[in-house]
Amino acid sequence: MKQRTIPMLTTFILIAVLSGLISSKPTKSANGNYIHGTDIVTEILQAIDRREEMWSITSYMNASREELAKELPLSNLDGTKINYTFFAPTSMAFMVQTPQDAPDPMFIDADFRLKVLIRHFVRQHVSTEDLTKLDKLVMADSTEVAITRKSMVEVCNLPPIANKNTAACLAYFPSWTFNTKLGKCENYVYGGCHKTENLFHSENDCLSKCGPAVNTVKSFIGQAEIQTEACACSEHVHDFCTIFVVDGVFMTSQEASEILSKHPHTAAADESASHTHNSALRTTPLDPISPILVEYVSVSPSEADVQEIAQFAVDELSRGAHSMASLVLVNVVKAEKQTLAGVNYRLKLELKSGDIGAMECDVVVFDQSCSSTCRVSSFKCNPPLDSSVSSTNE
């Protein structure tokens, strides 16, 4: 069951949340900081600028914003759209890999900063599932980086047999082994010799040693751990930009030292005015992109995620309907899903209340696991929840 934390707000703000007036994404400010769908950098900044662990990469991208947007156009010369995947380092990663008591090499050398930022992009859409199938990725600077997966239980990383020279191993023993790349137990025919600890008599034996209840499988790009599932940049434009958070920066200590040697007279304090946690992000809109329409797909109301989202919606409606008794979910009549930056659930719910009795509500819930976002986007109930509360946001 997902953990969802909803802050304690005033009644007015609760009503605003339910009617879709409050969003986890920043809106365009009075000075024009954000205009949705203008370029890849703007979309990424919109997606990460409120995340505490992302403030360093946000500052660097903002400092190189125009140059980076030119290096990462939205389409090829023939007009075909380019998809991007961005591996975003945490602020802790930059702190660990940046020399201490010295100027920040990413700040003092704009060319170096741009070079490092481009290394974190791939000019294709990469999903979480893709990471289980790929052995390498070609980054936007044309370098190849290995994609690997590792079990935290060491024996689960072993091959099923220790010696590939199995010419004399002619037995036939149906067995099981854990495939770390795929993250699951699979059938294996054992020839009778050179077995390792990652060879099991049954699937249950394999699961008890290497299954998800006892073993975590982590993905890596180069030496950096990929810490999140794929997270789309935008709720409105499908698959053109995906973000993974990583715990490493794609630069070497030697590169950082060389940059510091090129700028020997730069004081560390000089960067404080521009490279700060609280500095406003600067964006300049470029060519707009058009949203891609994704249809809703019917799904079974009995699916576990549908039931969980339905209960979340009922809990939220109960919070907003402050003058009423708590609502109770009776049945999910109909369920549809639309996958964009997360998943939009469009549900028809049968509810009951001590004050009103039976009622029916049409609800849309947006859920994005990678950013821990879950909110009711719109709802309409019959009879209305409360005559003092607008019951629709459509």
Average pLDDT, the chain: 79
Q: Does residue 79 surpass a pLDDT of 90? A: no
- Answer with the residue of higher pLDDT: 374 or 104: 104
Residue 100: per-residue pLDDT: 79
Residue 101: per-residue pLDDT: 82
- Answer with the residue of higher pLDDT: 208 or 338: 208
Q: Does residue 108 surpass a pLDDT of 70? A: yes
* 17 vs 346: CA distance, rounded Å: 17
Average pLDDT over residues 351-364: 87
Residue 81: per-residue pLDDT: 87
Residue 281: per-residue pLDDT: 42
Q: Omega into 383 within 30° of 0, i.e. cis?
A: yes
Among 9-13, 145-149, 329-333, 346-350, the least confident range: 9-13
- Banded model confidence at residue 28, pLDDT cuts 50, 70, 90: very low
- Among the four given CATH numbers 3.40.50.10300, 3.40.190.150, 2.30.180.10, 3.90.1150.10, the one describing domain 36-148+221-273: 2.30.180.10
Q: Which residues contact 321 (CB under 8 A, 6 or more apart)?
A: 327, 353, 385, 386, 389
With H, G, I as helix, E, B as strand and everything else as coil, classify residue 272: helix
Residue 207: per-residue pLDDT: 96
- Banded model confidence at residue 236, pLDDT cuts 50, 70, 90: low
Average pLDDT over residues 361-366: 92
| Contact status, residue 235 vs residue 366, Cβ threshold 8 Å | yes
Q: Does residue 5 surpass a pLDDT of 70? A: no
- Answer with the residue of higher pLDDT: 276 or 256: 256
Which tens digit of pLDDT belongs to each residue from 161-181? Answer: 987 776 678 888 999 999 999
Q: Which helix (H) or strand (E) holds 94?
A: helix 91-97
Q: Does residue 382 surpass a pLDDT of 70? A: yes
* 371 vs 384: CA distance, rounded Å: 32
Q: Does residue 287 surpass a pLDDT of 80? A: no
Residue 320: per-residue pLDDT: 67
pTM: 0.64
Phi/psi for 212 (5° steps) reads -60, -20
| Contact status, residue 231 vs residue 343, Cβ threshold 8 Å | no
Average pLDDT over residues 126-135: 90
Which tens digit of pLDDT belongs to each residue from 88-107? Answer: 999 999 999 988 788 999 99
Q: How far apart are the first and last CA of the chain?
A: 29
Residue 228: per-residue pLDDT: 80
User: What percentage of the chain reaches a pLDDT higher than 90?
Assistant: 47
Q: Does residue 284 surpass a pLDDT of 60? A: no
- Answer with the residue of higher pLDDT: 371 or 254: 254
Average pLDDT over residues 230-234: 78
Q: Does residue 206 surpass a pLDDT of 90? A: yes
Q: Which residues contact 334 (CB under 8 A, 6 or more apart)?
A: 298, 301, 347, 348
Among 166-175, 229-238, 258-267, 333-342, the least confident range: 229-238
Nearest to 342 by CA among 375, 312, 316: 375
The tokens of 364 are what? 């849309």
- Answer with the residue of higher pLDDT: 358 or 177: 177
Average pLDDT over residues 112-141: 94
Query: Would you say the CATH fold of 154-215 matches that of 1-25+293-394?
Result: no
- Among the four given CATH numbers 4.10.410.10, 3.20.20.140, 3.30.1330.10, 3.40.30.10, the one describing domain 154-215: 4.10.410.10
Q: Does residue 286 surpass a pLDDT of 50? A: no
In DSSP notation, 232-261 reads ES-SSS-SSEEEEEES--S--HHHHHHHHH
**Topology given in CATH for the domain delimited by 1-25+293-394:** Nuclear Transport Factor 2; Chain: A, (3.10.450)
Residue 324: per-residue pLDDT: 56
- Ordered by start, the domain boundaries in the chain are 1-25+293-394, 36-148+221-273, 154-215
Among 29-43, 128-142, 246-260, the least confident range: 29-43
- Banded model confidence at residue 268, pLDDT cuts 50, 70, 90: low
